[in-house]
Every structure is written in C-alpha cells, then in structure tokens.
Amino acid sequence: MNIFAEEKKYKTLKNDLILRAAKGEQVERTPVWLMRQAGRILPEYRAVRAKLSGFKELVETPELAGEVTLQPVDILGVDAAIIFSDILVIPEAMGLPYEMIKGKGPWFENRIRSEADFKKVHKADVGSDLKYVTDAISLTKKELNGRVPLIGFAGAPWTIFAYMIEGSGSKTFSEARKMLYTNPKLSHQLLQLITDSTIEYLKAQIVAGADMIQLFDSWAGILPSNQYKEFSLNYINQICDAINEVPKTVFAKGAWFALQDMVDLNCNTIGLDWNMSPEKGRELFGDKKTLQGNLDPCLLYADEETIVTETKNMLNRFGSQRHIANLGHGVYPDTDPEKVKVFIKTVKEHQY
C-alpha cells in the first residue's frame, strides 16, 4: 500500500487516537483498550458462544467473529477493536490442527519433536487456509464503519514454536526449551518457517483492513536473555522489518531483561507487563517508542476507588503522550465488566 492510501485510510476513521499515539503524534487524550477484550469477560460473548459447538466454530465463522469483535467497542467504549481469532491459527495452517478443550486450553494431536515431524509441516497457505480470518477482518471493518481502528495480531514465532513443540499449554514449556538445547538447527528451521508464515499472514490482515498489528510473545519471560535474543528477537526483528504498512506493537510478556535489546526494533509501540516500570521504559525508549500497558489485571478485582486511584497513578507515571493505556496482560475471564468500565472511564476523563 502506498503512503497516500494509508493516509486516506486513517482520515476515514472517526477516532484514530491509538494510531496517532502509536506514531508519536499529539493526542488530546490517552487511548485505551484491553488485551483479550473480545471474548472472555462479556455475558454477550458467552451468549453467542453457547449456541456453538465450540471456540473454533466462532473463530472460523466471519460473521460471528465480527460480532464478538464489536461487542467491547459497543459495550465498553474502547478506542480500538481487536479481531476475534487466536494465535494458534498459524500452527494449524502449517499442518498442526489444535483443539480448544474446556477447562484445559489448547491441545494439539500432533507435535514436533523430531526432524521427521518437522518435515510434515509447511509454510501456511494464507490465501486459502486463513481466509476465514481475512474475511472476518473485512466484514468487521465494514461494520465498524470507521468508529475505531481495528487491530490485527499474531503470536511471536517463539511463542508459536513453544505450542508446536509442547503440543499444549504448560507451566514450564520444558519440551520446547529442551529443543533449543538439543537441536538448535531444527529450532531455527521451524522458527524461520513460522516467521515466513506470520509475515504473509500479517500482510494479508493489513490488506483486509487491519489498521495496526500486535505481536504477542506470551512466553518470552521463560527464556534466558541470550536465548531470547537468538531464538525470539531475531525473528520478531524480521517480522517488524517486513511490515511497514501500519503501526506495529511488540508485547513480550515477562521479557524485562530484553527491553534494552528492543530499543532498536523496527516497531512503533512496546507493550509493558505489570512487572515493568513505566519510568524505566521511558528511560530506555525515550521518544523512539510509544509504550502500552501496564495495569495489573488483578487490580480489576479491587474496589472502584482503588481502581480509580491506581489507574490515575499509572497514567501519571507514563505521562499524557506516547502512551496507550492497557492492562499488563490479557483481562482475566472472571473480571466484572463494570470494573473494566471504571478503568476505561478513568483513562478517558483523566487530567494530567
């Protein structure tokens, strides 16, 4: 897409606060959204979900994915929508189908533990196997009608690798971490294949209408810093360098030790989790990056007064510019939506 097409797209948005904040432009107030805002907490989401066979039916039906993407915009008043999907659609498109098991989370029947297993996976054919995502994005863009920008996303290669090796969620991902030591060559080959698939996937999301993109490196925090550089940042770097059409956010959960190495990443925004300090973030990134985050998701279990005080405290620590207000990780499923509304209202009304 050329720069004029990009400008035109932004101009048709009624609320482009988050895009301006990402690009380091002046904003009249801090934009706010929540990671995992689509699904999880809203009764309206559960009502749609209850009529279906499962999570995947929702992800794979563009009309329904679009409907639940819009819910937090309508009900919570956030400044961005995030397309309802999952990071695990990429391993599936590469040849490893997943199931989402109630109470347990993701489960893969096949996993990668050897070179023979690796030979069975392939680069994702985005145009055919992930068309349901790009269709959901086009449809959602139409329905949004420029109210707020739409965020596209993918898992960072290391996090996707972790699920493909482990075959399920895990507290330690020790099978995935074992592979880095026992077969670094195979690890790099798989990470490269995931990276190539992800670049094509994110580009297709942008063509379909995503106004910005986020990479979720949910399992960043379990690697030692030298391995994080070698097996994760290298690949995040490739993705950031390949995508220049829209603003990019990198959220590496738990990777406080790698923030210094992320200063020169070719992205606009760095997500901070609640263990990372806004002051330290500013000191490291200066005016090179916008920061996103970083309220403790558990704060939303507190009483309203505490939520207001702590949200204001966070906002003051980041300052009024180059900040996108969010939690430090996804909102927890049993959070009261009324408490989320208190958080959002506090951000919108805050005077610095």
Binding footprint of ligand CP3 on the chain (CB under 6 A): 35-40, 49, 55, 82, 84-88, 100, 105-106, 153, 169, 216, 218, 330
DSSP string spanning 226-283?
HHHIIIIIHHHHHHHHH--SS-EEEEETT-GGGGGGGTTSS-SEEE--TTS-HHHHHH
**Residue among 24 and 105 whose Cβ is closer to ligand CP3:** 105
**Residue among 106 and 278 whose Cβ is closer to ligand CP3:** 106
Q: In angstroms, what is the minimal distance from the CB of 8 to ligand CP3?
A: 27
Name the H helices within the chain: 3-11, 17-22, 43-50, 55-60, 62-76, 89-93, 115-119, 126-129, 131-144, 157-166, 174-182, 184-208, 225-228, 234-242, 278-285, 304-318, 337-349
Say which residues have a Cβ less than 8 Å from residue 117's Cβ, sequence separation at least 6.
110, 111
Q: In angstroms, what is the minimal distance from the CB of 257 to ligand CP3?
A: 18
Q: In angstroms, what is the minimal distance from the CB of 177 to ligand CP3?
A: 16
Q: In angstroms, what is the minimal distance from the CB of 40 to ligand CP3?
A: 5
- Is 163 one of the catalytic residues? yes
Nearest residue to ligand CP3, by Cβ distance, number only:
39
Name the catalytic one among 16, 79, 86, 273.
86
- Is 36 one of the catalytic residues? yes
- Is 40 one of the catalytic residues? yes
- Is 322 one of the catalytic residues? no
Name the catalytic one among 36, 113, 177, 322.
36
- Is 20 one of the catalytic residues? no
Name the catalytic one among 45, 98, 163, 228.
163
**Residue among 49 and 312 whose Cβ is closer to ligand CP3:** 49
SS3 291: strand
**Residue among 173 and 216 whose Cβ is closer to ligand CP3:** 216
Q: Which residue numbers are catalytic?
A: 36, 40, 49, 86, 163
